[in-house]
């Protein structure tokens, strides 16, 4: 592992002893290969998984899912054993951790999201109610103004039909114009009484009227038929159109009664009398009423503090009744220079969602920082234990040479032998390479990962709390959500494991060093007890190695 990577991994620690740890581990690893297999028992980084979300979205496996419970706090999801808590098994503790997170964090977020979604539906329904009938309100406001456009359309249909109907050609232009507000053709064909009685041609009627043609009973009967007179045609057409308009008026009033003052939704037929109902008025009225009262229902049914909705949403129905904003139609209009009631209501609900999400994020981030700090402290303690072991082995080796060299020199002088003394670090380095280096490599890596995670957590906390930008807050939430969903933060159970590992390593490394030093100084085997200066064979061995 390159020296600069090792230095970087621990560069941000404030305790003086860590610099000594880094230096010691760097000396060990500087010339060693970094391709070591990680023993799961030694420690592993957070699990890297395939991302479960795309950019710009929140994942069910992230901040707002039960998986985030593992960051709730240290020990929450770790079973506690012992004779004094026999029922505290893994299943109970795990379930408790998830349930507490759900109750204390997720439920509040869900309530805020629910209230916001309902507020959006309320606003959308009210705005649609004000404009969905061809730009007009879906409910009756004024009989004259609301029905007049449909009656006008009946007139248009009547005039158009009259000009193409079976009326005498002599007054096809004058009669429809005179009956400009009459109805001719609705859902049925025009009456037979309007049929022109002069079958042959219009000239026949002119001849009879002018006297140029003899009158007989047949021609006289044709002449006195209602359809044979312009004035009679006028009154016939006018009566029919008025009858159709009266029918429409009666029908629509009946439908308004069925719909509690709300018009039905019709299809797109141009003739008002030919339109078919596609949604009854009572369905529209009841749907709107249910949404308008939803805010009050939420407040009435709330039994926890985080279920209470905003004042504007809770007071929507009473505000309409009190007429402080001039009724239902006033909800969408600005009041006294302020945004409309609906705009303020949805903004209030949306703000509650952001606040709830930010609180949830801060809850996770604060706990994650605590967990990460504990994890990092455990790894730092391991690093310190390894450094102490390295220093103790190095120091013991140096002490050994201080004992061996004088005795070898003394024996060489007695025998008249010249020496070229060259001490090494091979004995301590061998123990380090075989027993400390793999764990040191993993520890340095874990510390680097933990340091980066802590820095990122602190950045996210700052991003969530120190800005009023909703875009910046959402970006921070999405980053945290991605970290949680992809297991990129250490969990409380991993911190517990690191704490236990620290204790195990401290014990094991102490035992290793003590047994190694004892073997060096006490073993009668010269290849093991190379520092046993009380063994003449050891002195002879080094004399033979150094003699010239």
pLDDT tens per residue, range 492-520: 888 889 999 999 999 999 999 999 999 99
pLDDT score of 81: 46
Whole-number average pLDDT of the chain: 75
Higher pLDDT: 482 or 539? It is: 539
What's the CA dihedral at 104, 106, 108, 112 to 10 degrees? Answer: 170
pLDDT score of 70: 60
> Which H or E element spans position 278?
strand 277-279
pLDDT score of 161: 80
Higher pLDDT: 426 or 313? It is: 426
Tokens of 259: 């719909």
Contacts of 541 by beta carbon, 8 Å cutoff, 6+ apart = 526, 530
pLDDT tens per residue, range 196-240: 554 445 566 666 566 565 655 555 555 555 555 667 777 777 887
pLDDT interval class at 405 (50, 70, 90): very high
Q: Of the ranges 14-18, 80-84, 136-140, which is most confident?
A: 136-140
Contacts of 119 by beta carbon, 8 Å cutoff, 6+ apart = 295, 309, 310, 313, 345, 346, 348, 349, 350
Classify residue 448 by its DSSP letter: H
pLDDT interval class at 303 (50, 70, 90): confident
pLDDT tens per residue, range 329-367: 778 888 778 888 889 888 888 888 777 777 777 777 888
How far apart are the C-alpha atoms of 35 and 533, rounded to whole Å? Answer: 38
Total length of the chain: 548
Nearest to 348 by CA among 320, 316, 390, 310: 310
154: pLDDT strictly greater than 70: yes
133: helix, strand or coil: strand
Half-sphere exposure for 493 (CA within 13 Å, toward CB): 15
How far apart are the C-alpha atoms of 38 and 314, rounded to whole Å? Answer: 58
pLDDT score of 58: 55
How far apart are the C-alpha atoms of 407 and 74, rounded to whole Å? Answer: 57
Rounded to the nearest 10 degrees, the angle between the axes of helix 143-163 and helix 230-258 is 140
> Which H or E element spans position 453?
helix 437-465
Classify residue 313 by its DSSP letter: H
How far apart are the C-alpha atoms of 213 and 373, rounded to whole Å? Answer: 118
What's the CA dihedral at 516, 517, 522, 525 to 10 degrees? Answer: 40
Higher pLDDT: 97 or 520? It is: 520
pLDDT tens per residue, range 155-189: 788 777 877 777 777 777 777 766 653 333 332 33
What's the alpha-carbon Rg for the chain, to the nearest Å?
A: 47
Q: Compute the average pLDDT of residues 437-447.
A: 94
140: pLDDT strictly greater than 60: yes
Classify residue 181 by its DSSP letter: T
Q: Compute the average pLDDT of residues 259-280.
A: 90
How far apart are the C-alpha atoms of 295 and 115, rounded to whole Å? Answer: 8
How far apart are the C-alpha atoms of 12 and 6, rounded to whole Å? Answer: 12
Higher pLDDT: 75 or 267? It is: 267
Is the separation of the CB atoms in 163 and 173 below 8 Å? yes
Nearest to 477 by CA among 159, 107, 168, 53: 53
pLDDT score of 10: 29
Alpha helical stretches, state H, 185-334: 202-210, 217-224, 230-258, 281-301, 311-314, 316-322
Is the alpha carbon torsion for 398, 401, 403, 405 positive or negative? negative
pLDDT tens per residue, range 50-89: 333 333 455 556 655 655 666 654 444 444 444 444 455 5
Q: Residue 33, Cβ neighbours under 10 Å: how many? A: 9
- Phi and psi at 133, nearest 5°, equal -100, 70
What's the CA dihedral at 340, 345, 351, 356 to 10 degrees? Answer: 180
pLDDT score of 55: 39
pLDDT score of 438: 93
327: pLDDT strictly greater than 90: no
Alpha-carbon distance values, 47 to 79, 101, 120, 502 (Å) = 21, 22, 39, 20
pLDDT interval class at 11 (50, 70, 90): very low
pLDDT interval class at 392 (50, 70, 90): very high
Cα 374-377-380 angle, rounded to 5 deg: 155
Whole-number percent of the chain with pLDDT over 70: 70
- C-alpha distance across the termini of the chain, in Å: 39
Model pTM?
0.56
Classify residue 192 by its DSSP letter: G
Q: Of the ranges 96-105, 175-184, 417-426, which is most confident?
A: 417-426
Tokens of 189: 């064909």
Alpha helical stretches, state H, 307-422: 311-314, 316-322, 341-415
Higher pLDDT: 505 or 147? It is: 505
């Amino acid at each position: 592992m390159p020296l600069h990577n090792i230095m970087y991994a621990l560069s941000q620690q404030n305790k003086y002893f860590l610099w000594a740890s880094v230096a010691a581990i760097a000396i060990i690893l500087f010339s060693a290969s970094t391709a070591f297999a990680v023993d799961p028992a030694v420690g592993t980084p957070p699990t890297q998984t395939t991302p479960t979300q795309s950019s710009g979205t929140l994942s069910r496996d992230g901040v707002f899912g039960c998986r985030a419970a593992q960051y709730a706090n240290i020990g929450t999801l770790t079973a506690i054993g012992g004779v004094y808590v026999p029922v505290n098994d893994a299943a109970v503790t795990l379930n408790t951790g998830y349930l507490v997170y759900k109750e204390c964090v997720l439920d509040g977020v869900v309530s805020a999201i629910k209230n916001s979604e309902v507020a959006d539906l309320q606003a959308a329904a009210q705005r649609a109610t004000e404009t969905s009938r061809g730009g007009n309100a879906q409910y009756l406001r004024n009989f004259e103004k609301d029905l007049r456009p449909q009656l006008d359309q009946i007139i248009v249909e009547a005039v158009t039909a009259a000009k193409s109907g079976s009326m005498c050609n002599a007054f096809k232009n004058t009669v429809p114009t005179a009956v400009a507000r009459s109805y001719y053709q609705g859902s049925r064909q025009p009456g037979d009484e309007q049929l022109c009685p002069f079958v042959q041609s219009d000239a026949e009627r002119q001849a009879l009227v002018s006297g140029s043609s003899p009158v007989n009973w047949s021609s006289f009967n044709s002449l006195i038929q209602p359809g044979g007179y312009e004035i009679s045609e006028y009154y016939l057409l006018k009566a029919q159109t008025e009858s159709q308009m009266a029918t429409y008026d009666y029908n629509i009033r009946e439908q308004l009664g069925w719909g509690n003052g709300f018009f039905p939704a019709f299809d797109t037929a141009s003739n008002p009398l030919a339109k078919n109902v596609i949604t009854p008025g009572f369905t529209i009225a009841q749907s709107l009423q249910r949404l308008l009262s939803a805010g009050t229902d939420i407040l009435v049914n709330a039994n926890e503090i985080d279920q209470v909705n905003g004042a504007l949403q809770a007071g929507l129905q009473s505000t309409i009744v009190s007429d402080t904003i001039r009724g239902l139609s006033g909800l969408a209009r600005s009041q006294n220079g302020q945004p409309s009631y609906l705009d303020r209501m949805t903004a209030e609900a949306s703000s509650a969602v952001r606040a709830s999400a930010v609180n949830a994020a801060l809850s996770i981030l604060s706990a994650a920082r605590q967990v990460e700090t504990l994890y990092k402290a455990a790894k730092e303690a391991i690093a310190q234990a390894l450094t102490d072991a390295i220093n103790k082995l190095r120091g013991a080796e140096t002490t050994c040479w201080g004992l061996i060299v004088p005795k070898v020199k003394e024996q060489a002088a007695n025998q008249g032998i010249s020496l070229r003394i060259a001490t090494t670090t091979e004995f301590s380095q061998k123990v380090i390479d075989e027993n400390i280096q793999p764990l040191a490599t993993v520890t340095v890596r874990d510390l680097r990962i933990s340091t980066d995670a802590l820095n990122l957590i602190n950045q996210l906390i700052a991003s969530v709390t120190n800005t009023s930008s909703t875009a910046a807050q959402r970006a921070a939430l999405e980053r945290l959500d991605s970290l949680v969903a992809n297991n990129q933060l250490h969990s409380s159970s991993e911190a517990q494991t690191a704490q236990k590992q620290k204790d195990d390593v401290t014990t094991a490394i102490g035992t290793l060093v003590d047994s190694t030093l004892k073997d060096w100084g006490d073993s009668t085997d010269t290849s093991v007890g190379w520092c046993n200066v009380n063994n003449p064979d050891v002195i002879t061995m080094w004399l033979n190695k150094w003699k010239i």
